[in-house]
Protein backbone atom coordinates (compact mmCIF):
# COMPACT_ATOMS: atom_id res chain seq x y z
CA UNK A 1 0.00 0.00 0.00
CA UNK A 2 1.33 3.43 -0.93
CA UNK A 3 0.82 6.63 0.99
CA UNK A 4 0.30 10.02 -0.64
CA UNK A 5 1.93 12.78 1.41
CA UNK A 6 1.43 16.43 0.45
CA UNK A 7 3.69 19.28 1.62
CA UNK A 8 2.20 22.76 1.87
CA UNK A 9 3.92 25.91 3.10
CA UNK A 10 1.75 27.79 5.59
CA UNK A 11 -0.12 30.64 3.98
CA UNK A 12 -3.57 32.17 3.66
CA UNK A 13 -4.79 29.50 1.22
CA UNK A 14 -3.30 26.53 3.10
CA UNK A 15 -6.46 25.34 4.93
CA UNK A 16 -8.42 25.29 1.67
CA UNK A 17 -5.56 23.62 -0.24
CA UNK A 18 -5.13 21.00 2.48
CA UNK A 19 -8.84 20.20 2.38
CA UNK A 20 -8.68 19.81 -1.40
CA UNK A 21 -5.62 17.56 -1.07
CA UNK A 22 -7.41 15.27 1.39
CA UNK A 23 -10.51 15.19 -0.81
CA UNK A 24 -8.21 14.29 -3.71
CA UNK A 25 -6.77 11.32 -1.86
CA UNK A 26 -3.91 12.62 0.27
CA UNK A 27 -3.21 10.45 3.30
CA UNK A 28 -0.90 12.95 5.00
CA UNK A 29 -0.68 16.73 4.76
CA UNK A 30 2.53 18.25 6.09
CA UNK A 31 2.55 21.97 6.78
CA UNK A 32 5.82 23.83 6.46
CA UNK A 33 6.73 26.84 8.56
CA UNK A 34 8.80 29.38 6.61
CA UNK A 35 12.31 30.04 7.83
CA UNK A 36 14.36 33.12 7.01
CA UNK A 37 17.54 31.12 6.33
CA UNK A 38 16.46 27.85 4.66
CA UNK A 39 19.85 26.18 4.27
CA UNK A 40 18.59 22.62 3.71
CA UNK A 41 15.60 23.43 1.49
CA UNK A 42 15.56 23.14 -2.26
CA UNK A 43 14.63 26.03 -4.57
CA UNK A 44 10.88 25.36 -4.67
CA UNK A 45 10.43 25.21 -0.91
CA UNK A 46 12.82 28.14 -0.48
CA UNK A 47 10.67 30.29 -2.81
CA UNK A 48 7.48 29.16 -1.06
CA UNK A 49 9.00 30.16 2.27
CA UNK A 50 10.05 33.56 0.94
CA UNK A 51 6.52 34.13 -0.37
CA UNK A 52 4.99 33.07 2.96
CA UNK A 53 7.31 35.36 4.91
CA UNK A 54 6.40 38.17 2.52
CA UNK A 55 2.73 37.53 3.34
CA UNK A 56 3.50 37.93 7.04
CA UNK A 57 3.57 34.26 8.00
CA UNK A 58 5.45 34.08 11.28
CA UNK A 59 5.27 31.43 14.00
CA UNK A 60 2.00 32.67 15.53
CA UNK A 61 0.36 32.98 12.11
CA UNK A 62 1.59 29.50 11.18
CA UNK A 63 0.11 28.05 14.36
CA UNK A 64 -3.20 29.75 13.53
CA UNK A 65 -2.95 28.27 10.02
CA UNK A 66 -2.35 24.83 11.50
CA UNK A 67 -5.39 25.16 13.77
CA UNK A 68 -7.58 26.35 10.88
CA UNK A 69 -6.39 23.45 8.74
CA UNK A 70 -7.18 20.92 11.46
CA UNK A 71 -10.69 22.39 11.88
CA UNK A 72 -11.43 21.85 8.18
For residue range 51-70, list pLDDT tens digits in order.
Answer: 999 999 999 999 999 999 99
Mind telling me the catalytic residues? 30, 41
User: Structurally, how many domains does the chain consist of?
Assistant: 1
Residues 15-57: pLDDT tens digits? 999 999 999 999 999 999 999 888 889 999 999 999 999 999 9
Print the domain residue range for 22: 5-71
Give yes or no for a contact between 12 and 34, defined as CB atoms under 8 angstroms apart: no
- What pLDDT shows up at residue 39? 86
For the chain, helix (H) and strand (E) counts, in that order, are: 3, 2
Amino acid sequence: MKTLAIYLMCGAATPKLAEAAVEGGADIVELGFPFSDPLADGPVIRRAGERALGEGMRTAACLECLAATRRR
